[in-house]
Amino acid sequence: MTLRRAQDERGEPEVVWSGRFIEAKRLGKWEYVSRTRGVSAAVILAVDEGHVLLVEQYRVPIGARCLELPAGLVGDEVEGEEAKAAAIRELEEETGYRAERVSDLGRYHASPGMSSEGFTLLRQGLTKVGEGGGVAGEEIEVHRVRLADLPAFISKKRVEGVAIDSKLLLLLGSIVIPDLIRDP
């Protein structure tokens, strides 16, 4: 499914800078980044017997390790790759778990005010097949966290100075958010 784009009378964006994976663009007063070559992302919600798989890795843009759902680029190595295929590949590379089944939970945009990048969220059934840790140079630490313990685990990681990816709100929403929005 593709997004229905609003009519924009200002024309095509100007590419201000282009690298291997991203481009900086300008359209009117807006400056934003987008992925090159039609590359997008697949984010994996990997839940197994009441536990969720999370990855922790260093992220250059924020200068810190970050706790995240497993994810990876779609189409960065093989043009026309489907999100499900990328999710299966990335899950095994990063976590050492192989997908038994994959369900597409839709397409989302994490930061639409500064980036055109979207991601496909996929849910997977799991079988442990290896140690994970990513490909050479990624240094990914895998965490298998009981869902009921997730708020405490995230709090502990914050104290350690680990950044927390906003996509983890998907999981925290059912645990923490109801308490925050309940009438006093």
Structural domains of the chain, count: 1
Give the 3-state DSSP-derived string for 78-114, with helices as H, strands as E and coil as C.
Answer: CCCCCHHHHHHHHHHHHHCEEEEEEEEEEEECCCCCC
**Residues 120-171 pLDDT 10s:** 988 877 888 877 776 667 789 999 999 989 999 999 999 999 999 999 988 8
- Whether residue 130 is contained in a domain is answered as yes
pLDDT at 80: 87
**Residues 105-130 pLDDT 10s:** 899 998 898 998 889 988 877 888 87
**DSSP helix/strand/coil, 127:** strand
- Rounded Cα gap, residues 156 and 163, in angstroms: 11
Total Cβ atoms within 10 A of residue 151? 14
Domain membership of residue 69 as a residue range:
40-177
Place of tokens 């919600």: 45
- Whether residue 121 is contained in a domain is answered as yes
- Whether residue 150 is contained in a domain is answered as yes
- Whether residue 22 is contained in a domain is answered as no
- Whether residue 31 is contained in a domain is answered as no
- Whether residue 7 is contained in a domain is answered as no
The CATH number that applies at residue 171 is 3.90.79.10
- Whether residue 20 is contained in a domain is answered as no
Model pTM score:
0.83
- Rounded Cα gap, residues 18 and 31, in angstroms: 13
Paired tokens of 166: 């906003």
Between CA 95 and CA 163, with CA 49 as vertex, the angle to 5 degrees is 45
The phi and psi torsions of 143 (rounded to 5 degrees) equal: -125, 130
Q: What is the DSSP letter of 115?
A: B
Paired tokens of 94: 């990063």
